[in-house]
Amino acid sequence: MTPPFDVQVSSSARPQLRRLPDKAASAVVEFITAVLPENPLRLSKPLTGELTGLRSARRGDYRVLIHVDEGAKRILVVRVAHRADVYRSPAPSDG
């Protein structure tokens, strides 16, 4: 059995996780820490267009956008949001 991937959560994905409802947040955290590292390529699908290079993994009504570095055995969680919003461009920030 191959060793699991290391998971890192980007600074932009951390507040997105905190904004999820408690039940959904718990399920997503369990998924990205316990399930996803075992086989991220099987549990996600590659994205196209502006999101090329990222993959989408499902957890209930929520999607976790990830970048998988197979060589380094690393998963970077880029975005976590409801399926209706996750593929839309984020709103521009003030400043």
Encode the chain in three state secondary structure. Answer: CCCCCEEEECCCHHHHHHHCCHHHHHHHHHHHHHHHHHCCCCCEEECCHHHCCCEEEEECCEEEEEEEECCCCEEEEEEEEECCCCCCCCCCCCC
Q: What was the pLDDT predicted at 89?
A: 72
In a domain, 93, yes or no: no
pLDDT number for residue 88: 81
What CATH number should be reported for the domain holding residue 21?
3.30.2310.20
Number of structural domains the chain divides into: 1
Tell me which residues of the chain have a pLDDT lower than 70.
1-3, 90-95
Structural domain range at position 59: 6-82
Within-domain flag for 48: yes
Per-residue pLDDT at 63: 96
The answer as to whether 92 is a domain residue is no
In a domain, residue 1? The reply is: no
Report the pLDDT value the prediction gives residue 83, as an integer from 0 to 100.
93
